[in-house]
């Protein structure tokens, strides 16, 4: 069967050559006579896999030496709790609410400390990023969601936080371009958007924040120091997902690294946003100054709710039949959404635009 163009928000498409390499090595990894799925995480065969993946993370993101790179489990959602459990000192944290995932992070953190929501974009359905330039006060940390998958917004200017550690959920934009790691105390990201398949969560944490001093009752597995001291091998790590991440990172490196990804992603996003902005039938829902390069929600011009819902359903069904899959908008916002992460090529965006033009002529 011909491969489809997968616009899923996650798990998302992976580079074809990565999948082909994994397929070729599935039953025999580099002459070891075994699959990576089978081998011990403490074996001499696996050691260079996890070590090499960490080295690539450090190289591609220019991670300073005073940061630990961890491969954890539980997704970004577990980090919603792990961050306050490990960083609580005075008992107050600052959050900026820019969407569903930041709201979830706020609610989870509220179980462990006092949360001040400094700004929110909920008043306009999270269609923009609030203008927060600086964060000050007696906070243990400040938290932002760097890219908002559901509503298609992204931070363009990261707030200055002084001595307050800035924590970010970068799940849906990690390695979509260069990122100044030194601006952050913690960067965490679920792999299933830009880094590989679901199952591993990348955490980049400044070493001075890895104290081992946690909220009373914190489970051992939710203590950053435990994982840092054991090189992400306190227990069996998600071995195969880490291997796949390594393959993806090698692909990123071959294609120009973070700068190469930024050029690639800007080209795709410009093409699609220009199409949305030039036509009368479709429009993007995120405000222009806050638009994401990764996730682009859009709607048709139909204003009647029932007719719009039926038209959206028809669009998604016909797109799927045309080999353009996972274009339904998130259930909380409706409409459609094209997620165009690193692995989505320009050809996929062009194919989507061609279909959208055809659909508008038939239904406009």
Question: What is the set of active-site residues?
Answer: 101, 169, 193
- Rounded distance, CA 298 to CA 300, Å? 7
244: tokens are 């796949």
- Rounded distance, CA 157 to CA 61, Å? 18
Beta-carbon contacts of 347 under 8 Å, excluding residues fewer than 6 positions away, are 5
| Cα–Cα nearest to 206, from 188, 189, 185 | 185
DSSP 291: B
- Tell me: cis bond preceding 11? Omega within 30 of 0 counts: yes
- Rounded distance, CA 183 to CA 167, Å? 9
Taking the C-alpha atoms of 301, 305, 307 and 310 in order, what is their torsion angle to the nearest 10 degrees?
100
The 10 Å CB-count burial string (b at 16+, else e) for 112-144 is bbebeebbbbeeeebbbbbebeebeeebbbbbb
| Cα–Cα nearest to 186, from 217, 140, 151, 153 | 140
**Alpha helices per DSSP H over the chain:** 16-24, 47-60, 75-87, 100-109, 224-229, 239-254, 257-278, 305-321, 346-363
| Cα–Cα nearest to 95, from 69, 121, 58 | 121
Partners of 300 in the β-ladder: 282
Partners of 205 in the β-ladder: 68, 186
């Amino acid at each position: 069967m011909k491969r489809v163009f997968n616009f899923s928000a996650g798990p998302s498409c992976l580079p074809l050559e990565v999948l082909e390499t994994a397929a070729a090595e599935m039953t025999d990894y580099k002459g070891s006579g075994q699959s990576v799925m089978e081998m011990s995480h403490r074996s001499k065969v696996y050691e260079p896999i996890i070590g090499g993946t960490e080295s690539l993370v450090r190289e591609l993101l220019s991670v300073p030496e005073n940061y630990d790179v961890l491969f954890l489990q539980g997704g970004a959602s577990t980090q919603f709790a792990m961050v306050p459990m490990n960083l609580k000192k005075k008992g107050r944290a600052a959050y900026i609410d820019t969407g569903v995932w930041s709201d979830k992070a706020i609610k989870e953190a509220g179980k462990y400390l006092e949360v001040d929501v400094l700004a929110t974009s909920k008043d306009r359905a999270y269609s923009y990023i609030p203008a927060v330039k600086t964060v000050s006060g007696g906070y243990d940390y400040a938290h932002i969601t760097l890219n908002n998958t559901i509503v298609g917004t992204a931070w363009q200017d990261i707030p200055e936080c002084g001595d307050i550690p800035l924590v970010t959920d970068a799940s849906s934009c990690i390695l979509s371009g260069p990122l100044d790691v030194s601006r952050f105390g913690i960067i965490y990201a679920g792999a299933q958007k830009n880094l590989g398949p679901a199952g591993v969560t990348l955490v980049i944490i400044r070493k001075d924040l890895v104290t081992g001093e946690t909220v009373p009752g914190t489970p051992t597995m939710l203590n950053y120091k435990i994982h840092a001291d054991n090189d992400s091998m306190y227990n069996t790590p998600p071995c195969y997902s880490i291997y796949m991440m390594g393959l993806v990172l090698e692909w990123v490196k071959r294609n120009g690294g973070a700068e190469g990804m930024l050029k690639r992603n800007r080209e795709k996003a410009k093409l699609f946003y220009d199409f949305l902005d030039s036509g009368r039938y479709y429009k993007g829902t995120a405000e222009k100054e806050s638009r994401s390069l990764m996730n682009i929600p859009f709607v048709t011009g139909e204003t009647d709710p029932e007719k719009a819902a039926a038209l959206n359903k028809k669009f998604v069904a016909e797109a799927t039949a045309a080999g353009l899959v996972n274009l339904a908008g998130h259930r909380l916002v409706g409409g459609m959404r094209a997620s165009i992460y690193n692995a989505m090529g320009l050809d996929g965006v062009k194919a989507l635009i061609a279909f959208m033009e055809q659909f508008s002529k038939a239904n406009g």
